[in-house]
Structure 1
Amino acid sequence: MGNQLSVKHALQILKDSGKKHTQTREKMLHYLAQSNRYVSAKEVHLNLLKESSRLSQDTVYRNLHEFSEIGILEETELNSEMHFRFHCSAPGSDHHHHHFICTVCGSTKEINFCPMDLIQEQLPGCLIEDHRFEIFGKCEACH
């Protein structure tokens, strides 16, 4: 998994954030870690339904957003739907990079180049507070 968060570390972040540790949350985190790609809430829900027929899609979606808010997950929009993946850098890491994201399977590749230096030159006097740069297409397996 490289620099990707471990499930154990993610559970600690959950605890440190005052969030409750539940079996459902732990199962979601395990599924996301094993997937190691962007997945939709629907995919996570369908996978967890195999073990618990009482789990609602709203619960899954709410938990995914909470995980994202506290830095466990990254999120992006693919095909007009939010997708989530384990954060590929541990909190506090200074490893800055961007992603190529496959629009078919959701797999990612790190891009170890940031275009912000070039963009900053085009915006003199502006204070950039944050940025997001993603490239979308089909990976080798899906092409």
Structure 2
Amino acid sequence: MENQSAVKEAVRQMKDYGFKYTKKRETIISYLAKANRYVAAKELHEFLMQKYSGISYDTIYRNLRDFASIGILEDTELEGEMKFRFNCSLQGAEHHHHHFICLICGKTREVTTCPMDFFQEQLAGCTIESHRFEIYGRCEQCQNIG
């Protein structure tokens, strides 16, 4: 799915959940759709301050949490900080997958193998309702950093 249509779909989903449309909210969504990596609220705040002086960090963080709760964004904790990325399913990823996440730059790469079949076999009688599997490391570009 093209980036612009993915953003439009995310804005539609935001409205469907009762959130009011604002240009600031669309800018948050657009930034994350273009970034295609996990981004800290601080980075987003620095970017938005250039366009909307005076926008508060708390407002941005609250929107990020809200968008994650309705599925527009995915979130993860990296080194004690919450980070957010545009939801892969809104960008056309229709298959189940997980992520490799670079601890330095936040870039992600899809991992299509899912270990849940192995775990389901070990949990006879249990029903797995949800899961999350992430692999952390350094991408090719960040191998020699610090």
Q: Same fold (TM over 0.5)?
A: yes
| SS in structure 1 of the partner of residue 84 of structure 2 | strand
Aligned to 1:140: 140
Q: 1:90: how far off?
A: 3.3
Once the two structures are superposed, residues 72-127 of structure 1 have per-residue CA deviations (whole angstroms, 9 ceiling, x without a partner) of 00000011100000000139x75101000000000000011110001111111112
Pair 1:81-2:59 in alignment: no
Question: Is 53-62 or 120-129 further displaced after alignment?
Answer: 120-129
Aligned to 2:127: 127
Letter in 2 for 1:65: R
Query: 3-state SS of the aligned residue for 2:141?
Result: coil
Q: Cα distance, 1:67 vs. partner?
A: 0.6
Letter in 2 for 1:69: S
CA distance in 1, matches of 2:52, 2:63: 16
Say if 2:9 is the partner of 1:9.
Answer: yes
Give the number of the structure whose residues are more often helix, by fraction. Answer: 2
Deviation (angstroms), 1:134: 0.3
In 1, Cα distance between equivalents of 2:138 and 2:30: 26
4+ aligned runs moved over 2 Å, structure 1? none
1:2-41 alignment, distance < 5 Å: 6-41=6-41
2:59 corresponding residue in structure 1: 59
Letter in 1 for 2:110: E
Q: How many correspondences in the alignment? A: 142
| Letter aligned with residue 110 of structure 1 | E
Residues 49 and 55, structure 2, Cα contact 8 Å, conserved in 1: yes
TM-score by length of 1: 0.93
Q: Please name the residue that 2:71 is paired with.
A: 71
Root mean square deviation of aligned Cα: 2.0
Q: CA deviation at 1:26?
A: 0.9
Distance 2:90 2:39 in 1: 19
Aligned mates of 1:112, 1:46 — CA distance in 2: 34
Question: Aligned-pair distance for 1:40?
Answer: 0.6
Unaligned 5+ segments in structure 1 are: none
